Structure 1
Amino acid sequence: MTIPLPPGFRIDLDPDVRKLADGLWFGGSPARVLRLTAAGQAAWRVLDAGPVTTAATGVLARRLTDAGLAHPVPPAQDGPPGVTIVVPVRDRAELLARCLAGLGSRHPVLVVDDGSADPAAIAAVAAAHGAKLVCRDVNGGPGAARNTGLEQVSTELVAFVDSDCVPPEDWACLLAAHFADPLLAAIAPRVRALAQDTWSGRYTRAAGCLDLGDRPARVAPGTRMSYVPTAMLVARRSALAAVADGGQVFDPRLRVGEDVDLVWRLHAAGFRVRYAPDVQVGHHEPASWRGLLGRRVRYGVSAAPLALRHPKALAPLVLHFWPALTVGALLARRPLLAAVAFGGSVRSTVRLLRANDVPSDGVVRALATAVHQTWLGCGRHGTQFAAPLLVALLVPGGRRRWGRRAAVASLLLGPPLTAWASKRPKLDPIRYTAAAIADDIAYGAGVWAGCLTSRTAAPVRPAFLRRPLRFDPKGKR
């Protein structure tokens, strides 16, 4: 049984949604074709003009937001929410002071000192800002510190805020309003880099790994937004308790990736997790390339433990047969085979759409986009996990090898140059490209290190999907 989105919620259609015909939509993540019945179209006309008011409009709103075709807009709250803020910290007292100053005094704040080398400095900062302090004798990592803080929380909502974050004004009200949805377990804002005006700083502001973009999303494995970090995360305490293992919400064995693990466990339990980029929190970034790339290595190490815990949730590259065959033929300099593969993709897709009474306009353009995205994905995958091989293939090997080197260079340079062209950061394309390649190689090195430790190759294996498009059953909506 579908639990409706509650009255008062409005929904905004995702920008990528296309209306193919009356009652026939395309979009979402994963991509699907949605057919609305007459009753569904009537419910949509109500939602298009205003908020959820009936069970029918609530059910449709839920299905649209679950599919990624739309995003919920909660009603305004009356008064400040009841939320307790948990701030895990280890040293860096000056960053903690900046964080607590930004949090203000509207909500109770609990600082968890996770074995700082100078606990007196942490205690002084907490006291100066009126925060309660809990000290751990032994450092256990951010997950363990959050678990310790959670034991002291009595409010239904808890906000985990890292000590190197600077929250905006009214963040709590804006994020807590979403919890009018009874299925929502957690929500995260957009994380923007606070970095110096250096090469590494400008790159981080343009392509920081914690910044997940400006589009709202449902967070779930296999979708456009598969995870959110806990740099700042507001959560429902009863939902956290429902997925706790032995009383531990965050797995203390995970020093990195404990936030992704929690999000995926909440999803598996049937809860909703959302990303709300209209709220933006600043995040302190490493000041040097050594610090920046070292962090990327640490993030990469978490991939193997996560893959073992959630074998169906983590895939570094998802390939569909026809686009993958087209890209492979182009890279092998087999234009005739590439043309045949692309033509086969168009033919099979048109047949699939017509069999489901869906217009086939725009198929060629859509499949060309799929080929382009597959090429970019293969390039990043190769850079992250096979950079030495790509470099070796670039070494001159005879007069007739220029085509091979051009294909390899396209894999190496294509993704960062494409990203640079779309973002137009305050950084020239050469330095941006060099930084992006170093970023990917560092992350890949961490993944390989985790694979060796955990004795698994799952985090580097691409996933192959046979079904590129989903169709909701006729008459279901």
Structure 2
Amino acid sequence: MSVPPPPHARLPDGYAVRLAGGTRRVEGGAALLGGSPLRLLRLSPAARDLLDGDRLVVSSAATAALAARLLDAGAAVPEPAGPAPGPGDVTVVVPVRDRPEGVARLVAALRADPATAAARVVVVDDGSVDPGALAAAAGPAEVLRHERPLGPAAARNTGLRAATTGAVAFLDSDCVPLPGWLDVLLPHLADPRLALVAPRVVALPPARPGWTTPYETAVSALDMGPEPARVAPLSAVSYLPSAALLARRAALGEGFDAAMPVAEDVDLVWRLTAAGWRVRYDPAARVAHEHPAATGAWLRRRAVYGTGAAPLAQRHGGLVAPVVVSPWSAVPVVLALTGGRAGRVAAAGVLAVSAAGLARRLAPPGGAPPYRLAAGLVLRGTAAGVRTLARAATRHHWPLTVAAAAVSPRARRAAAAVATADAVLAWWPHRAEVGLPRFAAARRMEDLAYGAGLWAGALRAGSARALLPARPPGG
């Protein structure tokens, strides 16, 4: 499925960007180090003059071009301003099947929020068993019906086709938008090249919490975290969940791929970014989501998420690879882990050669190679490679890890150490929210379920593409 190309239009005057929290100036201010993936951005003298401090306000073609470059590198975050659709130019689309209570709750929340009180709400009944109950729960909302279930992607597309407004908000029936969410997201559409923007999806407190509730509240797969971000494959935020999205209607073309029962949101984001559209995540807007409280339902959902990798691999190739790591990062790790003392010496040599080569590539014209900066970047990349390989061993490729542990005591010890370290490092930022034993057990259960779904999906597709590693672009 194709999407239309973005317009050849610049950011409007008054639109501003500020350097992202992880971006820092280097080379005396002549370059910026930041973005995702991490990169070095050299600034021309003119660009240095335009970037006053850490903030840039668009006032000309030159400032618009620089602001766009910083946004597209992930080195800056926007402070949007300029013409954008208002609340009256938004259609809210709710795809649903057999959830009248959730629809009633969602419609009530929309009516209680001044920004959406008068919005057109289209509920798409995807073949519910009791359509009358759903229509009654929808109240004043318009209801469109599929006589038989076609899936959430098809239901969203039905709502998209019915919309005539400039913007379309997609909200799942198990969501409750928090007041002000739309006021935060709409200004982003002042960027004429922005196709999608999403809020932060937080946990809706369950009526009856389950054993996994504290873990899911802390690290839900739908929660993209506390920092605003550019969204693109192979970046820190590589996709957005379709549970809550605001879209520019003209950018979506035919919409979601209805042939995908899962991961259709990832596919849409990647098709849009490949076409040149911008996609953003803004956690200042929040939508609460009713996470599964029962452990069995939670694990089944994780397994279903895993099955989405195979169809994504068929459509997007290596972008879905479970391990994306440069050989310059992977080789030292393998040498250090398997080669004993000689391997560790060899690993240090590989890192030194890599750092020296990177320093030469980073050297400014006529300047000395920045060996210290290059060494830091190589060590940082190697640490990221270690985390990637460890995560794959406990999540994506755990069947291989289990097989190795079954025949090798050394592999058993390594697997236990990696699984423990992975759990502790992931738990530490959330230590005030959930205890370590529960977090570690839930993380291992989640990874087992996701990995099982991943392998089942690959077997069903008859392709191992979703299981294979890939090199990063330029790596």
**C-alpha contact (below 8 Å) 2:358/2:374 kept by paired residues:** no
Instruction: Please report how far the alpha carbon of residue 154 of structure 1 lies from its aligned counterpart in structure 2 after TM superposition.
Output: 0.7
Partner residue in 2 for 1:219: 231
1:232 aligns with 2:244: yes
Distance change in 2, residues 1:309/1:467 (3 Å): closer
Partner residue in 1 for 2:306: 300
Instruction: Please report how far the alpha carbon of residue 406 of structure 1 lies from its aligned counterpart in structure 2 after TM superposition.
Output: 2.8
Instruction: Please report how far the alpha carbon of residue 283 of structure 1 lies from its aligned counterpart in structure 2 after TM superposition.
Output: 0.5
Q: Deviations over 1:84-107 (max 9, x none)?
A: 100111112111111111112231
Partner residue in 1 for 2:445: 438
Q: Deviations over 1:380-425 (max 9, x none)?
A: 212224324434544596xxx4x54332222222222210113225
Partner residue in 2 for 1:207: 219
**C-alpha contact (below 8 Å) 1:320/1:466 kept by paired residues:** no
Among candidates 153, 158, 171, match of residue 163 of structure 2: 153
Distance change in 2, residues 1:330/1:457 (3 Å): same
Bigger Cα displacement from structure 2, 199-208 vs 384-393: 384-393
Instruction: Output the amino acid matched with 1:10.
Output: A
Instruction: Output the amino acid matched with 1:53.
Output: S
Instruction: Please report how far the alpha carbon of residue 74 of structure 1 lies from its aligned counterpart in structure 2 after TM superposition.
Output: 0.5
Instruction: Output the amino acid matched with 1:381.
Output: A
| Superposed counterparts of 1:130-145, under 5 Å | 130-145=140-155
Which secondary structure state, in structure 2, belongs to the residue aligned with residue 235 of structure 1? strand
Among candidates 371, 375, 398, match of residue 386 of structure 2: 375
Distance change in 2, residues 1:342/1:96 (3 Å): farther
Instruction: Output the amino acid matched with 1:108.
Output: R
Partner residue in 2 for 1:179: 189
Partner residue in 1 for 2:288: 282
| Superposed counterparts of 1:241-390, under 5 Å | 241=253, 244=254, 249-332=255-338, 334-355=340-361, 356-357=363-364, 359-390=370-401
**C-alpha contact (below 8 Å) 2:333/2:386 kept by paired residues:** yes
Aligned residues: 455
Which secondary structure state, in structure 2, belongs to the residue aligned with residue 7 of structure 1? coil
Structure 1's consecutive aligned runs of 4 or more residues displaced over 3 angstroms after TM superposition are 1-4, 47-50, 76-81, 195-198, 362-369, 391-397, 465-468
Partner residue in 2 for 1:473: none
Partner residue in 2 for 1:188: 198
Q: Structure 1: which 5+ runs fail to align? A: 469-477
Partner residue in 2 for 1:475: none
**C-alpha contact (below 8 Å) 1:3/1:59 kept by paired residues:** no
**RMSD of aligned residue pairs (Cα, Å):** 2.2
Q: Deviations over 1:210-257 (max 9, x none)?
A: 11111111111222221111111111111112xx2xxxx211111111
Partner residue in 2 for 1:110: 122
Instruction: Please report how far the alpha carbon of residue 364 of structure 1 lies from its aligned counterpart in structure 2 after TM superposition.
Output: 4.2
1:63 aligns with 2:75: no
Distance change in 2, residues 1:180/1:452 (3 Å): same
Instruction: Please report how far the alpha carbon of residue 188 of structure 1 lies from its aligned counterpart in structure 2 after TM superposition.
Output: 0.9
What is the rounded CA distance, in whole Å, between the counterparts of 1:466 and 1:270 in structure 2?
Answer: 17
Instruction: Please report how far the alpha carbon of residue 5 of structure 1 lies from its aligned counterpart in structure 2 after TM superposition.
Output: 2.2
Q: Structure 2: which 5+ runs fail to align? A: 1-6, 112-116
Which secondary structure state, in structure 1, belongs to the residue aligned with residue 178 of structure 2? coil
What is the rounded CA distance, in whole Å, between the counterparts of 2:55 and 2:403 in structure 1?
Answer: 59
Instruction: Please report how far the alpha carbon of residue 276 of structure 1 lies from its aligned counterpart in structure 2 after TM superposition.
Output: 1.0
**C-alpha contact (below 8 Å) 1:316/1:459 kept by paired residues:** yes
Partner residue in 2 for 1:125: 137
What is the rounded CA distance, in whole Å, between the counterparts of 2:406 and 2:463 in structure 1?
Answer: 31
Bigger Cα displacement from structure 2, 61-70 vs 77-86: 77-86
Instruction: Please report how far the alpha carbon of residue 150 of structure 1 lies from its aligned counterpart in structure 2 after TM superposition.
Output: 1.5
Distance change in 2, residues 1:385/1:6 (3 Å): same
- Give percent identity, aligned residues only: 42
What is the rounded CA distance, in whole Å, between the counterparts of 2:397 and 2:168 in structure 1?
Answer: 41
What is the rounded CA distance, in whole Å, between the counterparts of 1:237 and 1:445 in structure 2?
Answer: 36
1:405 aligns with 2:412: yes
**C-alpha contact (below 8 Å) 1:376/1:411 kept by paired residues:** no
Bigger Cα displacement from structure 2, 263-272 vs 364-373: 364-373
Distance change in 2, residues 1:16/1:32 (3 Å): same
Distance change in 2, residues 1:152/1:396 (3 Å): closer
